């Protein structure tokens, strides 16, 4: 009685929904959220291309997908699978999740196709970061990002249903990322003392988008780069770089060591550097004595270059955003170390 709908209308929308959910190319699953999408003119090419943006394809070169994304975001029509895709075409995206015996609408978005693609392109640009040579993925899908927030060794590897819906909505609408994304990523970093390419990309993208109103944003941006920035003096970033060099020094002095300073000190160094770093610098002197002349000079120079940039004492504590900057500094420095090994 509170929302009367005719039998004809109820039949029409339920039949259309069932058709799109059962038809490949008009829907996809992300955690417990079913995402359904369609163009107003009914052309299946729009939904097909949108599916590729979410997860790519084994048969289609991703460079073609991203080239098309660039053109659509700039307002240009593209050809896709014998269809002409107009960036001004109206496009609809519906997010549904089960709720007892009913459906819960997570989001219902309506905009031009070009506007959605532009927001996706900006999201992918924020995620760009230096990656290991074995990681050949050009970009990271929603599913791959969500996987970074859960323990892959646990029985239940499903990411938070709340996070999956909120992440998709924020990206497609160009809104700030949900706070839960950073919280759960940081939780995994602390639990594993490990920063993967995906986690580093999440931290970078989150701070680029969400920290724009912070008074430290200009300093943050110096660290939110694709690869190592050797010219910034922002202390949390320098601390992350310093920790990576100290870890490399320990490994060089003790080949084959099972547990490094990362396993014992990473979390505390990231949160309370004022307590941990004096101990680590003292430990480094003992490691330097074990190295031959060439390696000792190499690590002494690296340590000296970074330490000379410090303009104040080690801070007692780092904020959550500064901890993210620390982790990026560590990740960038480690990737530089691995790149040099591959060159050799």
Give the pLDDT of residue 176.
95
**Amino acid 52: pLDDT:** 86
Residues 184, 293, single domain; the answer is no
Q: Which of 151, 175, 209 is the last residue of a domain?
A: 209
pLDDT at 186 over 80: yes
Is position 215 within any domain?
A: no
Instruction: Note whether 278 and 134 are same-domain residues.
Output: no
Judgement on whether residues 299 and 183 belong to the same structural domain of the protein = no
**What's the pLDDT score for residue 65?**
79
- Residue 241 is predicted with a pLDDT of 96
The Cα 323–Cα 239 span in angstroms is 10
Mean per-residue pLDDT for 160-184? 93
For residue 89, the cross-strand partners are none
> Residue 66's pLDDT band (boundaries 50, 70, 90)?
confident
Q: What is the pLDDT of residue 195?
A: 94
Claim to verify: residue 293 and residue 147 sit in the same structural domain = no
Residue 143 lies in a domain: yes
Could you say which of 209, 241, 265 is where a domain stops?
Answer: 209
At residue 338, the pLDDT reads 72
- Residue 189: its pLDDT value, please? 95
Structure tokens at 64: 């073609």
Mean pLDDT throughout 311-337? 94
Q: What is the pLDDT of residue 59?
A: 57
Per the structure, the count of domains in the chain is: 2
Give bridge partners of residue 39 from the DSSP assignment.
91
The last residue of a domain, from among 177, 209, 241: 209
Burial 104-126 (b: 16+ CB within 10 A, else e): eebbebebbbbbbbbbbbbbbeb
Q: Report d(CA 317, CA 276) in Å as an integer.
A: 11
Q: Is residue 223 part of a domain?
A: no
Strand partners, 98: 103
Examine the domain organization and report whether 183 and 261 are in the same domain. Answer: no
Helix (H, G, I), strand (E, B) or coil at 314: coil
So what's the pLDDT on residue 60?
64
Residue 16 lies in domain? 7-209
**Residue 61, pLDDT above cutoff 80:** no
Domain shared by 148 and 101, yes or no: yes
Give the per-residue pLDDT at 215.
Answer: 83
Q: Looking at residue 328, what is its pLDDT?
A: 97
Give 197-215 as a DSSP string. Answer: HHHHHHHHHHHHHHTTTST
Give the rounded percent of residues in the chain with a pLDDT score beyond 90.
67
Residues 289 and 235 in one domain: yes
Confidence of residue 137 (pLDDT cuts 50, 70, 90): confident
Banded model confidence at residue 219, pLDDT cuts 50, 70, 90? confident
- Same domain membership, residue 125 and residue 79: yes
- In this structure, the answer to whether residues 91 and 161 fall within a common structural domain is yes
Query: What pLDDT is stored for residue 68 in this prediction?
Result: 87
* pLDDT band for position 185 (cuts 50, 70, 90): very high
Q: Are residues 149 and 273 in the same domain?
A: no
Higher pLDDT, 278 or 159: 278
In angstroms, rounded to a whole number, what is the distance separating the alpha carbons of residues 273 and 237? 12
Per-residue buried b or exposed e for 295-312, using 16+ beta carbons within 10 Å of the residue's own CB = ebeebeebbeebeebeee
Share of the chain above pLDDT 70, in %: 97
Residue 101 above 70 pLDDT?
yes
Q: Is residue 2 part of a domain?
A: no
* One domain for residues 205 and 236: no
Q: What's residue 116's pLDDT? A: 96
Q: What is the mean pLDDT of residues 296-317?
A: 93
Segment 92-99 mean pLDDT: 90
pLDDT, average across residues 316-335: 95
Mean pLDDT of the chain: 90
Q: What is the pLDDT of residue 341?
A: 57
pLDDT for 343:
53
Residue 134 token pair: 């074995």
- Does 219 fall in a domain? no
DSSP annotation of 274 reads: H
Lowest average pLDDT, out of 2-6, 42-46, 217-221, goes to: 2-6
Q: Provide the pLDDT for residue 57.
A: 57
């Amino acid at each position: 009685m509170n929302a009367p709908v005719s039998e004809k209308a109820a039949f029409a929308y339920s039949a259309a929904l069932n058709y799109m959910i059962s038809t490949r190319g008009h829907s996809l699953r992300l955690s417990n959220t079913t995402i359904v999408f369609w163009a107003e003119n009914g052309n299946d090419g729009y939904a097909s291309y949108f599916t590729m943006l979410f997860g790519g394809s084994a048969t289609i070169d991703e460079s073609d997908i991203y080239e098309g994304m660039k053109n659509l975001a700039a307002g240009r029509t593209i050809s896709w699978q014998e269809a002409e895709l107009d960036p001004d075409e109206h496009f609809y995206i519906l997010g549904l999740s089960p709720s007892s015996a009913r459906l819960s609408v997570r989001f219902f978005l309506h905009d031009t196709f070009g506007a959605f693609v532009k927001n996706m392109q900006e999201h992918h640009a924020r995620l760009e970061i230096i990656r290991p040579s074995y990681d050949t993925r050009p970009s990271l899908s929603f599913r791959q990002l969500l996987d970074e927030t859960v323990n892959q060794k646990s029985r239940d590897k499903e990411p938070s249903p709340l996070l999956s819906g909120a992440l998709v909505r924020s990206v497609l609408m160009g809104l700030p990322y949900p706070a839960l994304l950073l919280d759960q990523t940081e939780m995994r970093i602390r639990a594993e003392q490990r920063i993967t390419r995906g986690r580093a990309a999440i931290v970078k993208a989150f701070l680029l988008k969400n920290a724009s109103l912070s008074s430290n944003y200009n300093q943050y941006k110096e660290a939110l780069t694709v690869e190592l920035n050797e010219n910034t003096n922002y202390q949390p970033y320098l601390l992350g770089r310093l920790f990576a060099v100290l870890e490399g020094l320990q490994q060089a002095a003790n080949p084959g060591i099972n547990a490094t300073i990362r396993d014992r000190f990473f979390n505390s160094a990231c949160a309370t550097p004022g307590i941990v770093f004096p101990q680590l610098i003292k430990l480094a002197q003992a490691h330097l004595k074990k190295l031959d002349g060439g390696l000792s000079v190499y690590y002494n120079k690296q340590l000296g270059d970074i330490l000379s940039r410090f303009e104040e004492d080690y801070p007692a504590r780092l904020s959550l955003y500064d901890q993210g900057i620390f982790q990026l500094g560590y990740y960038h420095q480690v990737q530089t170390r691995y790149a040099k090994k591959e060159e050799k």
